[in-house]
Amino acid sequence: MTTHPILPAPAGGARPGREAPLAGFTVGVTAARRADELSSLLERRGARVLRGPALRIVAVADDARLHAATEQCIADPPSVVVATTGIGFRGWVEAADGWGLGGALLDALGSARLLARGPKARGAVRAAGLADAWSPDSESSGELLEHLLTAPLEGVRVAVQLHGQPLPDFVEALRCAGAEVIEIPVYRWGPPADAGPLAHLVDAVCAHEVDAVTFTSAPAAAGLLGHATERGRRDDLLAALRGPVLSACVGPVTRAPLADLGIPAVLPQRFRLGAMVRALCEALPGRYPALPVAGRTLQLRGHAAAVDGELRPLSPNAKSLLRVLLARPGRVVPRRELADALGCAAGGSARAVDEHAVEQAVARLRSALGAPELVQTVIKRGYRLPLEPMRDAPRCAVPE
């Protein structure tokens, strides 16, 4: 089945501003769960969305493991239960119901001290009719572990609901403190059923056709990197994410696989989708300063240029030329340098691009901008943006 991962920009020609701060930008979404919600948040702020789920949530391959762990909790109830995710805790209770063990499991958990990693896990606990004892303000597993280790754990039975991946460090720390740990493997992450959209996203990031990529889980970040490695594009992906393509992560745990590779990322103060989108709205436009050129204001915004606040769509060639010109506003850029940019944009050699092709591409750029005076010809030398210096104006720094 043919997929169409690029979602259209909002109708009505969104203009940059408070209501549409991401207008003109393309943002990649690696999430599988809640992808619709995240995409909608981005689109409402003017972004064009490119989806490439980097993982999928799959049921535990061997239900016998979860069944056995459930029966173990019923036969000898734990003293402490750790709920790490809302979807995972609900899945555990639902699975027990399917086996006819739901009531017995809730009775067993009702006598335990229940700790929830965050509000969603806490909500799932309460929805099951149970009372939660404590949750960390940071919603981090690290703070949860520190809280557990403040009390004696020798001989204490602790049930830990896993959230997509094993938690070896968390579990090992509890066992080293003397606890008897029961791991509850409710669900796990797997590769996407259809890798096509993910491959398309990786290629778009490597080609700098995406301005930012969002990550809502560490497995999604690892999945994107792993897929690029399998396709021989790891170096290209790392160069893009360390350069012009901005990463936005919902929290520090999600960012960890990127941080290990020296990839910077935007983090919200509160670890929520909405907060991440707001942080992206603040960070992304600031990477592309608006400049006074030929009596107008000019700003590159991803797949478009903003001329006096009006978005003007750009072709890949026009975008490449404008990026080179904006890197040195007011200075002459030789034709050969612009030919290099056109050759790279086409995925070929600059030698195949002659001066006539550069002239045609510049003419199309002027037409796209709707203001020919923005790109000035300097006879026998090249082209320039006639910058009008402003006192204390910031120096342009367009991501390469």
What pLDDT was estimated at residue 342?
A: 86
Paired residues of 172 in beta bridges: none
Residues 206, 272, single domain; the answer is yes
| Domain count of the fold of the chain | 3
Same domain, 162 and 129: yes
- Taking residues 80-101, report their average pLDDT: 92
3 pLDDT above the threshold of 50: no
Q: Which of 223, 255, 284 is the last residue of a domain?
A: 284
376 within 8 A of 385, measured Cβ to Cβ? yes
Average pLDDT over residues 304-319: 92
2 in a structural domain? no
Residue 372's CATH number: 1.10.10.10
182/57: higher pLDDT: 182
Amino acid at 163: H
271 shares its domain with 199: yes
Neighbouring C-beta atoms of residue 235, cutoff 10 Å: 11
In a domain, 80, yes or no: yes
Chosen domain end from 268, 284, 300: 284
Residue 115 lies in a domain: yes
Q: Are residues 356 and 249 in the same domain?
A: no
- CATH number for the domain that contains residue 239: 3.40.50.10090
Q: How many residues does the chain have?
A: 400
79, 155: one domain: yes
Q: What is the pLDDT of residue 164?
A: 65
> Given pLDDT bands bounded at 50, 70 and 90, which one contains residue 139?
confident
- 265 and 120 in a single domain? The answer is no
Task: Based on the fold, state whether residues 69 and 183 are members of the same structural domain.
Answer: yes
Mean pLDDT of 85-95: 90
Per-residue pLDDT, 352: 58
Select the more confidently predicted residue: 352 or 91. 91
Sign of CA dihedral 109, 114, 118, 122: positive
38 pLDDT exceeds 70? yes
Entry pTM:
0.74
Is position 279 within any domain? yes
- The per-residue pLDDT for 4 is 38
pLDDT at residue 390 above 70? no
Residue 395 lies in a domain: no
pLDDT at 32: 87
pLDDT at 140: 83
Alpha-carbon distance of 91 to 58, in angstroms, equals: 12
Question: Is residue 75 domain-shared with residue 178, that is, in the same domain?
Answer: yes
Looking at the structure, tell me whether residues 277 and 181 fall in a common domain.
no
Does 83 fall in a domain?
Answer: yes
| 106 and 120 co-located in one domain | yes
Q: Is residue 265 located within the same domain as residue 322?
A: no
Assigned domain for 118 exists: yes
Clarify whether residues 159 and 217 are in a common domain: no
Domain end residue (candidates: 189, 215, 235): 189
Residue 304: domain span: 291-384
Long-range contacts of the stretch 379-382 (C-beta < 8 A, 24+): 381/332, 381/334, 382/332, 382/333, 382/334, 382/335, 382/337, 382/338
Higher pLDDT pick, 108 / 269: 108
Phi, psi of 183 (to 5 degrees): -85, 130
Average per-residue pLDDT in the chain? 88
The answer to whether residue 400 sits within a structural domain is: no
Strands 48-51 and 6-7: antiparallel
pLDDT value, residue 187? 75
- What's the whole-number mean pLDDT along residues 192-207? 95
